[in-house]
A and B are shown apart, each in its own frame.
Chain A
C-alpha cells in the first residue's frame, strides 16, 4: 500500500516526466532507488547478424525471461527471419533457431512488457534446496577460501548471520571493475580481489556452500537504476551489461536475496542489498554451466544473452552478431 507521501512523490515524478517529454533526459531528480516498488518497461530485445559466420550450420539460442515472483512478462511477440521453437531446459526457457546460413542484417526481435518489482525474500516451497549445494566448475573452493570463511564466520550457525558476515567481508576486501567480461572463478577472485558481479557472486556462493547453505544463482541483464532511467533508452545485452545476483536458503522454502557487487558499487545501498533487490534488472535464467535445448556444443558459463554457434563453435560477439535492448518506460511505482 502506498502512503500519501510516496503517492505524491510518484505522481509528481510521472507528471513531470509527462510534461517534459524529453527523450534522453534522465528522470533522476528526487527518486530514491530504494523507494521504487516496480518499474514497467516495453522492451524490444534484438539479436542482429553483423557478419554471417563462415562456418555453416548456425544455431541461435535466445533467453526468454519468464514471469515469477520477481517480475511479470507479458504481451510477448517474436519476429524472426526463420522458423523458431520455444524450448525449456531445466528452469530456463529460450527461443531456438537453426539455419544453414543467416544473412547480414538478419534480426530476431522479442517484444514484451516487463514489470520488474523490488523484491525481498521469496518462497519457493517445491524446490529441493540441496540441489543448490553443488558448485559449478568455476565455484570450487580451496583451502585459502575455507580458512578465510572459518575466520570470518567462526562458529556461527545462523544462515542469515553467516551471510551478512561473508557479504561484508567480500565487499570490504574487493575492488569492483565494470568494463570487463568476468569469468566468475571463485579461487582467482579470492586471490585477485578485483572483479565484477560474476566474481563477487561466485565467491559468495562458494563460501556459503562451504558452510552448507544452498545458494541459487540468478542471471539477468542490468537495467538502468530508477534514479537514472530515461523515457526511452537503448543498450547492448552483452557481457558488460549482463548482471548476476544470488539467493541463499534460510529455511521453510524461503530464499534471501543479496547483490554483493551492487552493494560494493553503491555504498548507500549496502544494507538494502542484503535482503532486497532494486528493480534495475531483468532475470533471464537460473544457474551456471548451462545446458541449452537442444544441447549446445560449447560450455556456457552463464546464460544472460543470446548464444550462437556456427558449425558447433561459439560465434564472436561484436563481430558476427550483437544484441540490443531498447526500452520505453511505461510506469514507475514509488
Chain B
C-alpha cells in the first residue's frame, strides 16, 4: 500500500511538473516560416486565426500516430471553423517527408517541416508528442507533453474555445 501511494505520488509530481512548467503558457504563441508539403515557406502564424492546436509529431512515435485519430475526431466534433489544427513534423527537414506523412495518414491539417533547432528550442521540444493549445488571441493556454486521453483533449479544447 505504501509503495502504491509513493508511485501515485511520483506520477502526480511528474505530471504536474510536465504540465505546469512550460514558460510558453500565458505568452503570445511564437511562429516561424517553415516549409509545407509543397515546399512553400509559410509563416504558420497566419493560420492561427482561431483557437488552435499546434501538434508536434514524428514518424517513429506510435503515440503520435494514435493522437492524429483523436485530432481528426476533435475537428469533426468542434468544427473546422472553430478549431484550427496545425502539425509540425520534428523529423522533417524538407517538404518531402511532410507530404509523404500527410498522404500516409490522411492528415488533412496543414503540416510543416519542423526539424530546425530554433523552432525546437523555442517550443522546448525535447520529445514528442507535444500539443500546444492556443486561444483566439494567440495566447498559449496549455502545453501537454505526453499522450492525451480523448476526454482530456476535449476539455483542453473547450478551454481555448471559451476564451
Contacts and interface: CB of A to CB of B under 8 A. Distances in A.
Interface in A178-205: 179-183, 185, 187-189, 191-192, 194-196, 199
A69 interface: no
A128 to B, nearest CB: 30
B145 A177 contact: yes
B145 A194 contact: yes
Contacts of A170: none
B5 interface: no
B128 interface: yes
A236 interface: yes
Interface string A98-137: 0000000000000000000000000000000000000000
A54 B64 contact: no
Contacts of B17: 175, 194
Contacts of B65: 316-319
A236 B60 CA distance: 12
A199 B61 contact: no
B103 interface: yes
Contacts of B13: 175
B126 interface: yes
A317 B62 contact: yes
B126 A317 contact: no
Which of B18, B121, B127: most chain A CB closer than 10 A? B127
Interface string A274-308: 00000000000000000000000011000000000
Contacts of B129: 180-181
Size category of the B interface is: 35 or more
B59 A314 contact: yes
Interface residues of A, number: 39
A33 interface: no
A297 to B, nearest CB: 10
A189 B120 CA distance: 12
A191 B21 CA distance: 11
Contacts of A76: none
B63 interface: yes
Contacts of A192: 124, 126
20 contacts: A53-B104, A54-B104, A176-B14, A177-B127, A179-B147, A182-B126, A183-B127, A185-B120, A187-B121, A188-B121, A188-B126, A189-B126, A194-B17, A195-B126, A238-B62, A239-B62, A299-B93, A314-B59, A316-B104, A322-B62
What are the 3 tightest A-B residue pairs by CB atom distance, in nearest-first order?
A318-B62, A180-B127, A181-B61
Interface of B: 13-14, 17-18, 21, 58-66, 90-91, 93, 96-97, 100-101, 103-105, 120-121, 124-129, 145-147
Given A175-B18, A181-B58, A298-B91, 15 more contacts: A175-B13, A180-B127, A180-B146, A181-B61, A181-B64, A182-B126, A194-B17, A196-B127, A199-B127, A238-B62, A313-B97, A316-B101, A316-B105, A317-B65, A319-B104
